[in-house]
A and B are shown apart, each in its own frame.
Chain A
Amino acid sequence: MYATSYHRTSSVDEAVNLRASQDEGRYISGGMTLIATMKQRLAAPSDLIDLRHIAGLKGITVKGRTVRIGAATPHADVASSVEIRALCPAICNLAGMIGDPHVRHMGTIGGSVANNDPAADYPSAVLALNATIITDRREIPADEFFQGMFETALQDTEILTAIRFEAPDKAGYAKFANPASRYALTGVFVAKTASGVRVAVTGAGSGGVFRVPEMEAALGASYLPESVAGISVDPGLLMEDMHATAEYRANLVRVMAKRAVQSSL
């Protein structure tokens, strides 16, 4: 790892001001992506600004059917949240499938969503649940937030502070894990609300997480696993690598979508 300077901050303002004074600084939350990347010398931030100790960024609040998850909330806390499970068990199940117990104790929802890894689990939930991404300066709808592999609407110094969503009537997540890394080779999150069904796919798209309008329309008409059985996504839009061809991923999208619907019934 290259040398770096560490700063612990106790408020969002303090962190933003510090970050604004540096060219090559980076925020760090759980570090389960960033430290691993720095160890490989694939990232070399001059400064690390730690968000993990900012009290206001942590915790889960549920009011009525509105769920708010602070950015620095670890995956393990979402997985074991009784309050969220009562309203939307699918996102608890998703959090419980990320990496391993130790990664879930450190890794946070804010870090995962800000990083927008094309094989990460959370982006699919955030997009399918039509969640709002709250930052230190504005609120961003999920449809505008994810802008391609590792690309988001966040500005350089902007801090993601929380994710907020309305609990859906039904939701399900199905993941085909990469046997080595456990990231999603393909994962599909399906959410049904009064205004319709949203289907978001992670792990497969060459531009990161994406929605499947044909599946959304079919499930809107009839919310059953069979409804998506005949719908295929264009392999031309999907990733191809040593783990799976684009055609294989296209098939996985259909199979995972079926399983996600099934799990939500």
Chain B
Amino acid sequence: MAKVTLTVNGRAMAGECDDRTLLVHFIRDRLGLTGTHVGCDTTQCGACVVHMDGKSVKSCSILAVQASGSTVTTIEGLAVQGELHPVQAAFNQHHGLQCGFCTPGMVMTAVDMIARHGGQLDEATVRQELEGNICRCTGYHNIVKAVLSANEQMHGAQRQAAE
């Protein structure tokens, strides 16, 4: 058994688990944060994406002990006092989901993508950046729309001011 300490969504959390326990299982089963999903066994679907020390990672392919000491943000950590994060709001507005299984990973991926590109996103870039996230329902169109719209929402005003 190993002791794992993490700062999750701003709160210090600790728990015991086997060395082989995956981060996603630690988050879901030990911390009770079940928004992060498991959709595959091959590190390909992205349903499990969380941010570790500010970077998007696939929590199904990292051991909890590897992550120990780091700062983790999950889908539950995005909304502030009940107010949806702009990316969550955009998925809602543009109907960027159907069954919703891939959505937590899609949203965490979009937040990371928008931050990394500093507002410079176009459709081709968004599609390429979604390489590691699979959706069985939507056909991606509305997901791409939602990401571009959230990007505008978060960076558009800033860009106009700069121009």
Chain A interface residues toward B at CB < 8 A: 1-6, 8, 28, 31-32, 35-36, 38-40, 48, 50, 52, 76, 99-103, 105-106, 181-182
For the complex, what is the distance from the CA of A8 to the CA of B63, rounded to whole Å?
A: 12
Q: For the complex formed, measure the closest distance between the CB of B102 and the CB atoms of chain A, giving whole angstroms.
A: 14
Determine whether the beta carbon of A105 is less than 8 Å from that of B131: no
For the complex, what is the distance from the CA of A106 to the CA of B55, rounded to whole Å?
A: 9
**Candidates A2, A5, A50, A100; contact of B132 at CB < 8 Å:** A100
- Check: B41 CB closer than 8 A to any chain A CB: yes
Main SS class of interface, B: mixed
Residues 4-28 of chain B: 1 if any A CB is under 8 Å from the residue's CB, otherwise 0? Answer: 0000000000000011101000000
Main SS class of interface, A: mixed
For the complex, what is the distance from the CA of A130 to the CA of B90, rounded to whole Å?
A: 48
For the complex, what is the distance from the CA of A2 to the CA of B63, rounded to whole Å?
A: 13
B48-72 contacts to A, CB under 8 A, are 49, 55-58, 60-63, 65-66, 68
Chain B interface residues toward A at CB < 8 A: 2, 18-20, 22, 41-44, 46, 49, 55-58, 60-63, 65-66, 68, 109, 112-113, 116, 129, 131-133
Determine whether the beta carbon of B62 is less than 8 Å from that of A35: yes
Determine whether the beta carbon of A2 is less than 8 Å from that of B20: yes
With contacts A6-B2, A103-B132 known, is A31 near B19, CB below 8 A?
Answer: no
**Chain A CB within 10 Å — which of B19, B46, B129 has the most?**
B19
Determine whether the beta carbon of A4 is less than 8 Å from that of B20: yes
**Candidates A6, A40, A102; contact of B63 at CB < 8 Å:** A6
For the complex, what is the distance from the CA of A3 to the CA of B109, rounded to whole Å?
A: 31
With contacts A6-B65, A32-B61, A36-B42 known, is A101 near B131, CB below 8 A?
Answer: yes
